[in-house]
Amino acid sequence: MAATDEAELQQAGLRITDDGRICCAWQANMPDYHDSEWGRPVVSDRLLFEKVCLESFHSGMSWHLIYNKRENFRRAFDGFDFDRVAAYSEQDVARLMVDKSIVRNRAKILSAINNARCAQALVTEAGSLAAWFWQFEPTADNRPLRVDLQFWQTQSTSPEAIAMSKALKKRGWTWVGPVTCYALMQALGLVNDHLEGCCCRAECEADRAALQRP
């Protein structure tokens, strides 16, 4: 590819991978996450709760750092089984606070336990976490045109993310501000924010089109 073409891709927030695909530029740092997870629909309650927790830990920190510690978080939090996390005691908090393989932030650890208990209540209310969270999927008419945006970080929130944040906080959830909720919507596939031209954008749209909403 000509240097001018590469420059145009870079300007658009895209890159060419070693195997010749065009992807979002940040794919270089987290190729597996970009190619296989981000923007793909999630309807598993366990995985959904995991993503809520990790996005909360991500607040104010690098996602690359959190992602690289994900397996450690899974081990430390019993696979993010929210029924087990909801039963955690102060002994568990002490155990987590000395675990150097995760982020030892007491407020965020307590938040994960609190949110697990809130997740149990939400399942009672809506039938499943997925059923509740997917109600905030934007309609096509409300989605911004991603072609007008250069980088996936450009949009940090949305009316739906703000509404989700307010609804969660009303139900007692913590560390779920509008920016965190929008990042969660991206991670759950409620929105497809792969850039125009990224090879994964059409794949995610196909996954979303085939999805039976909970």
**Which residues are known binding-site members?**
24, 34, 194, 198
In the chain, the largest separation of any two C-alpha atoms, in whole Å, equals 60
63 classed as catalytic? yes
Give the integer Cα–Cα distance in Å for 90 and 40.
36
* Cα–Cα distance, 119 to 200 (Å, whole number): 31
Q: How many H-runs (helices) and E-runs (strands) does the chain carry?
A: 12, 2
Point out which residues pair with 15 in neighbouring strands. 23
Question: Which positions make up the binding site for Zn(2+)?
Answer: 24, 34, 194, 198
Asked whether the beta carbons of 46 and 79 are under 8 A apart, the reply is yes
Catalytic residue among 26, 38, 50, 55: 55
Burial class (CB in 10 A: 0-12, 13-18, 19+), 92: middle
Asked about 33 being catalytic, the answer comes back as: yes
Does 88 qualify as catalytic in the annotation? no
Q: Report, as residue numbers or ranges, the catalytic residues.
A: 33, 55, 63
